[in-house]
Chains A and B, each alone.
Chain A
Amino acid sequence: MARVVVNVPAEAKKGEVIEIRTLAGHPMETGFRRTQLGELIPRDIIRTLVCTYNGVEIFRADLHPAVAANPLITFNTVATESGTLEFRWTGDNGYSATQSATIKVV
C-alpha cells in the first residue's frame, strides 16, 4: 500500500487562506539511471496529483522525473465550507493512491 500523508488544518475561519502540504512515499525513478551492469532502470514516477474540495477540483499538478523522490507539494486554498478534501496521486505502472482530510470551517 502506498504511503501518503497530507497536512490540512483541522479548523479554519471562513475565507481564510490555508496551506496544504502533501507527501507521497515514492522513489520517483527517473529512467535515466543505470544499474551496475549498465542496464537502464525503467522510469517509474508519479505523474499527477489532483486535489478536490467537496468534489470541486482546486489544484492539479503534473510531475516530471525532475521532482525529487517522495514528492512533497505545498499549495494554498481558501477555506470556504466544512467538508472533505480528497487527494489523488496517479503514476506509472498503475500507481494510484488516495487520501482525504476533513476540515471544519467556522
Chain B
Amino acid sequence: MNRRGFLLLGVVGVAHAQLPPNIQEIRKKALDEAIRKVVGDAQVRTGRVKLDVPPLIDNGNAVPLSVEVESPMTEADHVKAVHIFTERNPQPYVLTAHLGARAGKARVATRARIADTGAVTAIAQMSDGSFWSDTVRVIVTLSACLEEGLI
C-alpha cells in the first residue's frame, strides 16, 4: 500500500467511527415492530383507554403508572389484554396484562423504568378484536439505567 492509500484509509476510517448510530431511529422501529406484533393488521384507535403517568418524572427507575379502560367487562364485551410500551427504552416492552370478564373493572397499575423523555403508550385489546390506545409524553429528569452509562 502506498502512502496516499494509507492516508485515505485513515480518513475513511475516522469518518466511519464518528458516524453516530441512529439510536432514536432504531428504537422507533423497535416500538413500531412491537406494537405491530401485538396488533397485527388491526387498526389502533385512540380513546377508551386512560393511561395515568406523572408528566414530569424525577426518577425514571420507578415510575408509577396505571391504565384504566372503559369497558362493561361482561362475558360478551371485555378487555382481553393491556399492553404497555415505552418509546425510548432499550426494549419497548414494559408489561402485558391478560384480563378476563372476571376482572370486573379493567384497571392495571405497576411501576416502570423509563429511560428517557418520550412517549409511553398503552394499548387495550378488546374481546371483539378491536384495539384502543392512549399515549402520554413524559419528561424524565433522572433516567433509569443511566448510572453505568446507557446501553
Contacts and interface: CB of A to CB of B under 8 A. Distances in A.
A59 B44 CA distance: 24
Nearest to B150: A32
B99 interface: yes
A63 B113 CA distance: 12
A80 B149 CA distance: 49
Interface in A57-84: 57-69, 71-78, 80
B62 A69 contact: yes
Interface string B104-130: 111111111110000000000000000
B63 interface: yes
B97 interface: yes
A65 B113 CA distance: 8
Contact of B103 (A36, A66, A69, A75): A75
Given A33-B145, A33-B148, A76-B103, A71 B91 contact: no
B143 interface: no
A30 interface: yes
Contacts of B109: 72-75
Contacts of B89: 66
Contacts, number: 104
Chain A binding site: helix, strand, loop or mixed by DSSP?
strand
B9 interface: no
Nearest to A21: B109
Contact of B96 (A34, A61, A71): A61
B95 A61 contact: yes
B124 to A, nearest CB: 14
A37 B99 CA distance: 43
A106 interface: no
B37 interface: no
A52 B112 CA distance: 24
The 10 closest A-B pairs by CB, nearest first: A17-B104, A78-B104, A74-B109, A68-B62, A64-B93, A68-B111, A62-B96, A60-B98, A66-B94, A76-B105
Interface of A: 17-18, 30, 32-36, 53, 56-69, 71-78, 80
Interface of B: 61-63, 66, 86, 89-91, 93-100, 102-114, 144-145, 147-149, 151
